[in-house]
Amino acid sequence: MSSNSYTTLKIIDSHTGGEPTRLITSGVPALSGSMIERRQQVAVHHDWIRTSTLLEPRGFEAMVGAILTETDTPDCVAGAIFFNNAGYLNMCIHATIGIAVTLKYMGRISEGSHKIDTPAGVVTVHLHEDESVSVENVPSYRYKSGVEVQTVNHGAVKGDISWGGNWFFLIEGYGPEVKFSNKEALCHFTIDVMNSLESSGIKGANGGLVDHIEVFGAPDNDEADSKNFVMCSGGEYDRSPCGTGTSAKLAALYDKGTLKPGQLWRQASILNTVFTGSVEPTGDGNKVIPTVSGKAWVNGETTVIINPKDPFKFGIQQ
């Protein structure tokens, strides 16, 4: 960016089930190559975009951002690079749902099926007449079951390691009850588990960092099959049911034999917003293609102005 002039970024905000998405639609320097290469270019050379838009004084810690970019992948309407307060994500389904609704708001797509390129792979979104969006995610699978980790403050905890576009540790039967009034205790518990997994060297496939922790409990009503609390990599909990987390759960349920192909699973969040999901086997071992559905709402447009003289032009970083 220029050191002696204002820089601007055009943004459209939305939320999906309560979880915000800040989509940068213009003002980003030129990127090239695959989505993984484009993400790397942003991370190495333009991380100021992430910090400027998500951190205070413009944003807040729970925000998730995305850059709308072109893609060299045929048939894709757009590419997306995802990030949060801590760094960059492989995939984010709540943000993809938000992007689909935002693209419709921008007049770039309409009802029907469209492909979006991401660092995790190409996903297909379906815009429905009722304004919901379904996302066909990347292949997902349960990697290990019944993994025990010895935590610092909560003793031994068992869970499954599952891939849904990010690596998750799925927990049931441990920790505080999953309800909103327990959110502080749930934060302490899940961060303890996350840190203990890392210090114990417990990883996903190919050494992947297990940086999302998902705790399950009973739903509050018959509108869902389960209720979850998801701690994300940046130390903030997901307000939505978490799309990649729902995918990881669906893959684990399928691997256990408790979820059949095409069978619906309704996952409620800590706010009782609901994603609906199902799976179809890929024919490659226990891998499945999850489809996750939810709703998003565009709720703002803004222009971020970066003044080179502003001491917090790139956000407050401590």
Write out the catalytic residue numbers: 92, 242
| DSSP string across 129-168 | TTS-EEEE---BEEEEEEEEEE-SSS-EEEEEEEESSSEE
Q: What gap in Å lies between CA 136 and CA 181, rounded to an integer?
A: 33
Q: What gap in Å lies between CA 251 and CA 247, rounded to an integer?
A: 6
Q: What gap in Å lies between CA 139 and CA 286, rounded to an integer?
A: 10
- The first and second tokens of residue 229, run together, are 């609390």
Q: What is the DSSP letter of 30?
A: P
Q: What is the DSSP letter of 237?
A: B
| SS3 category, 1 | coil
Phi first, then psi, for residue 277 (nearest 5°) are -140, 160
Residue 189 CA, distance from chain mean position: 20
Q: What gap in Å lies between CA 33 and CA 184, rounded to an integer?
A: 42
- The first and second tokens of residue 234, run together, are 């940046």
Q: What gap in Å lies between CA 156 and CA 218, rounded to an integer?
A: 22
- The first and second tokens of residue 10, run together, are 């055009």
Farthest CA pair distance, the chain: 61
